[in-house]
Amino acid sequence: MVNVLAVDGGNSKTDVVLLNELGEILARGRGGPFAPQSEGVGPAVDVIESVVRQAIGFTGQADHLVTFLAGADLPEEERAIEAELSGRALAREVVVRNDTFALLRSGASGPWGVAVVCGAGINAVGVSPTGRTTRFLSLGAISGDWGGGLGLSAETLWHAARAEDGRGAPTRLAELVRSHFGADTVERVVIDLHLGVLERERLLELTPGLFRVAADGDGTALGLVSRLADEIATMAQVCLTRLDLLGTPAEVILGGGVLRARDPLLTA
């Protein structure tokens, strides 16, 4: 019996399944975020090992460990993670890839196409019929990225702060921020973030509210949703252009928490 450990390590959670060669799921488990860039490679891999050994209860060595991971954005990062995983005796063979390729593989009807993932962050990859690939650095603002839950929530707070203090246009996003965090002012939320009273990761909680405010017709919120749609379409178009697929029928797979929510405005 061939055992395969399959890992989807993302910014918000890490999912692991144990499969046999027929694709039957023998066990599954979930752990915390896979965050090598902020926590380090060792602690990030600890999350995977903990899910395998404790949540799943697999104590042996699998034949294959196939991982699709956030934070595996550069070849040297893939190699560092692969080396760390190989030293844990979880499997005889270890494969490390960026998690966006998992979206393409799981969503496309064939082995090629383009995938855009919009979850906590945003990224896109493309694979041509000949196997040629393209991707973005996806390192955040320093590599030209915009969007994803983290980007949207930061923009929500930015507009809310400016609306409250008079530098920006009025927007119901200010009330969203105040009500969501139970604060009298947006300024209080900003100060709590600055002092560490409020964890910055909690800003992600604002993203669903942003879409609700946009659905009610708020101009600022609508602008952010429209900008995100443009960004998603642009990333897909660039991938198709790089692979000479613009004139060829090709699948574009959309995934990640923000897109999977199927907000009517964004989807349209």
The predicted-structure confidence for 186-209, as pLDDT tens digits, reads as follows 999 999 999 999 999 899 999 999
Name the pLDDT band for 12 (thresholds 50, 70, 90).
confident
Name the pLDDT band for 65 (thresholds 50, 70, 90).
very high
Question: Would the pLDDT of 11 be above 90?
Answer: no
Give the per-residue pLDDT at 268.
Answer: 95
For the segment 130-154, the average pLDDT, to the nearest whole number, is: 94
Question: Would the pLDDT of 250 be above 90?
Answer: yes
Question: Would the pLDDT of 133 be above 90?
Answer: yes
Question: Would the pLDDT of 118 be above 90?
Answer: yes
Count Cβ atoms below 10 Å from residue 94 Cβ, excluding itself: 20
For the segment 244-258, the average pLDDT, to the nearest whole number, is: 95
Give the per-residue pLDDT at 52.
Answer: 97
The predicted-structure confidence for 19-63, as pLDDT tens digits, reads as follows 999 999 999 999 999 999 889 999 999 999 999 999 999 999 999
For the segment 84-104, the average pLDDT, to the nearest whole number, is: 96
Question: Would the pLDDT of 120 be above 90?
Answer: no
Name the pLDDT band for 175 (thresholds 50, 70, 90).
very high
Task: Report residue 67 CA to chain centroid gap.
Answer: 15
Give the per-residue pLDDT at 35.
Answer: 92
User: pTM value?
Assistant: 0.88
Name the pLDDT band for 171 (thresholds 50, 70, 90).
very high
> What is the amino acid identity at position 90?
L
The predicted-structure confidence for 68-86, as pLDDT tens digits, reads as follows 998 899 999 999 999 999 9
